[in-house]
Structure 1
């Protein structure tokens, strides 16, 4: 009887706001960013690439992706894809790929080795990367073992060295079976909210392609950014880039975290709202060398995209360009494994509409809803669905305040809500 009275006298759980996980975080491209030039990954380029491309399937095509991880060995995983046309055309065939990956630490994707097999070139390829965060140095290599035809020196392999810290990244890649040195080189520096960088990327297909004094072999960029890469932290990035002394590229990306009121019939009465993620991106490319026009390059082009994640199950994206507009809708079920179905529609300026479809099966993460106080935006790393269970098992004071997140302390957050890393 006393237990019943104690239960009735217990204070009701405080109001909570749902904090859903992102559909894809971190993106798959972030797992192999140590193989790429930092210049090609920073200045908002990785975020814009995901915004402009993810879930926008090719017109009249389907794409299937399966991502699995063994139960007894979380250091390895397998990603397999099958894509092809919806209408069987003789000139188009289905393409299948499989990627087997091993990484040294579950929480550190920068030291890994993967083996890629495909029905198209390259048929067999191995990539490896070793990075030592204590010293900041890393080395990587990409070797295509089986190709139908080797037409360039890059087809024989690429190797690279890099140094990375929180404020500096420098590195170079080379082709060991070629006299052209280097294949590319970069230097990127961060000073507060400003990020600047230069990249040397010669065009070996033209005469004197490796000339250091030719401005067509150089790219430079500057960006102003706020926030971190954590999904819970609003951020934006504005960048200007001069590419090969012939193109000016201006881009803008913003990630917004908002809370809206909601009445969820599957949750308790203490759930009064939900967190939404809104992303917006813009990119404009303009040619500035009016005397040397190329028939394969437009004088000016742009694209604008936005996405809205309403909860952990629904994602809506839209994209507008000079030639067409696209809309994508994705539904994700967080079963074991998770299942994602997406449909995209592309409408060109002539008025015709075509569709594309995508299916993803994933067993790489186990995220669930988090809980947050709606008044003070307090976050708790507990994954229980009942607020009463949170108070009973964790306690009313075991929470992380948003001021800690704003100051850059993400250690007590679940791994799915932390920034990717602090390596530039």
Structure 2
């Protein structure tokens, strides 16, 4: 009898917290099939999010609502109050995110824009269009809408955007070709913005853009990645960029956590962009002809994100707090230092989101998910004092290959 009463319950196994990223995938990925692949690849999408997201404009309070009704998963609405812009998206199939119709309402011109896209991953073929329904004036071909055709596979993408209601000879708006060979990606884009007297536009070198990129990309935000790219645009701009996403694990010494929580996964992002204009010597002293911007972010846990960026004219620091309710709420405050006038300003932002799903699938069978908020057993780590460094970039707690719906099917789209 005494042995029965003296038996004790086994202590719970150690746990590593694996929080979801603040915002993944980026909102631009939802409508990427309306864009040229040249504008989405070469680290451009990641750098745009690093340099722009959660940096609120000085002396402004920005508000963004991203809502999806629970009763119908085929529709969602995004309203950006600060710039008076609303988009309403309808998906034919919730599991096919690249076939949709979008109504885009804005206080600017056009007032009402209808966007549509159809993409068939099995064949790699797609079509898309932008059609201004309500517009104050229609004076050029673009005011009547654009139509695009594309082909995409895991290592090749090409397509063109056309003016179906062209008022003249300018029928082609743009065309692109992007190819991937291993870790190397190359691309060219024809964008006829500049005229050439008494000759064809395609002979004007300013209408051609070229890019080359080397890096390791991953569809999972819980896997490290990096990207280094070079671009020569409009025969006058040389752009060098670098972006790295690092996944690290650190020990947890937080009295608010349970005793079995021994570590947490953090995400650190770093990027820079160097732009150099190739013009006459008289213009080289202009600071706008040579710019260098650096940005970095650190997500300490699922609730806190710290970002900073430095440029030739100003510097910014942003601190964001996020709650993971359904929908989620995030509040951000930004400090902007304008070095030209020596003044510091502040901006604030509020975001409500239940469009993006903060969930990833686990691929390693050695780790068992305890709760839906991504807490995993840490038996495989054996995280004991003196056996592991406090900070490590080699995350060996499993390869998380889950891809958000907006990025599927990953293996068939470059």
Alignment match, 2:392: none
Alignment match, 2:307: 317
TM-score by length of 2: 0.86
**In the alignment, is residue 172 of structure 1 matched against residue 172 of structure 2?**
no
Alignment match, 1:19: 18
User: 2:79·2:85 contact (CA, 8 Å) conserved in 1?
Assistant: yes
Structure 1 residue runs of 5 or longer lacking an equivalent are: 84-94
SS of corresponding position for 1:166 = coil
Deviations 1:13-38 (A, max 9, x none): 32121111111101110000111010
Separation of aligned partners in 1, 2:202 and 2:155: 26
Separation of aligned partners in 1, 2:17 and 2:38: 36
SS of corresponding position for 1:212 = helix
Deviations 1:59-78 (A, max 9, x none): 11221111111111111111
Q: Closer, same or farther in 2 for the Cα pair 1:203/1:385, shift >3 Å?
A: closer
Q: Closer, same or farther in 2 for the Cα pair 1:15/1:102, shift >3 Å?
A: same
**In the alignment, is residue 332 of structure 1 matched against residue 322 of structure 2?**
yes
User: 1:180·1:210 contact (CA, 8 Å) conserved in 2?
Assistant: no
Alignment match, 1:157: 145
Deviations 1:1-22 (A, max 9, x none): 99x9699555433212111111
Kindly state the Cα deviation for residue 297 of structure 1 after the two structures are TM-superposed.
8.6
Across the two proteins, how many residue pairs are aligned to each other? Answer: 395
Which gives a bigger RCO, structure 1 or 2 (Cα 8 Å, sep 6+)? Answer: 2
Separation of aligned partners in 2, 1:275 and 1:242: 37
Separation of aligned partners in 2, 1:175 and 1:7: 82
Kindly state the Cα deviation for residue 377 of structure 1 after the two structures are TM-superposed.
11
Alignment match, 1:236: 226
Separation of aligned partners in 2, 1:276 and 1:6: 43
- Of residues 132, 136, 139, the one that matches 2:124 is 136
Kindly state the Cα deviation for residue 289 of structure 1 after the two structures are TM-superposed.
3.1
**In the alignment, is residue 421 of structure 1 matched against residue 413 of structure 2?**
no
Separation of aligned partners in 2, 1:403 and 1:269: 19
Map 1:74-223 → 2, pairs under 5 A:
74-83=73-82, 95-178=83-166, 179-204=169-194, 207=197, 211-223=201-213
Alignment match, 1:39: 38
User: 2:360·2:403 contact (CA, 8 Å) conserved in 1?
Assistant: no
User: 2:18·2:265 contact (CA, 8 Å) conserved in 1?
Assistant: yes
**In the alignment, is residue 253 of structure 1 matched against residue 253 of structure 2?**
no
Separation of aligned partners in 2, 1:7 and 1:114: 66
SS of corresponding position for 1:73 = coil
SS of corresponding position for 1:108 = coil
- Of residues 256, 259, 267, the one that matches 1:277 is 267
Q: Closer, same or farther in 2 for the Cα pair 1:8/1:418, shift >3 Å?
A: farther
Separation of aligned partners in 1, 2:322 and 2:332: 9
Task: Return 284-293 or 185-194, whichever deviates more.
Answer: 284-293
**In the alignment, is residue 367 of structure 1 matched against residue 366 of structure 2?**
no
CA RMSD, 1 decimal: 3.3
Deviations 1:359-400 (A, max 9, x none): 11112245379999xxx996545535697xx88xxxx99xxx
SS of corresponding position for 1:40 = helix
Deviations 1:81-116 (A, max 9, x none): 211xxxxxxxxxxx4222110123334321111101
Separation of aligned partners in 2, 1:358 and 1:117: 21
**In the alignment, is residue 355 of structure 1 matched against residue 346 of structure 2?**
yes
User: 2:237·2:278 contact (CA, 8 Å) conserved in 1?
Assistant: yes
User: 1:228·1:419 contact (CA, 8 Å) conserved in 2?
Assistant: no
User: 1:367·1:416 contact (CA, 8 Å) conserved in 2?
Assistant: no
Alignment match, 1:346: 336
Separation of aligned partners in 1, 2:70 and 2:186: 43
Q: Closer, same or farther in 2 for the Cα pair 1:208/1:332, shift >3 Å?
A: farther
Separation of aligned partners in 2, 1:132 and 1:7: 64
SS of corresponding position for 1:183 = strand
Q: Closer, same or farther in 2 for the Cα pair 1:386/1:103, shift >3 Å?
A: closer
Kindly state the Cα deviation for residue 206 of structure 1 after the two structures are TM-superposed.
6.6
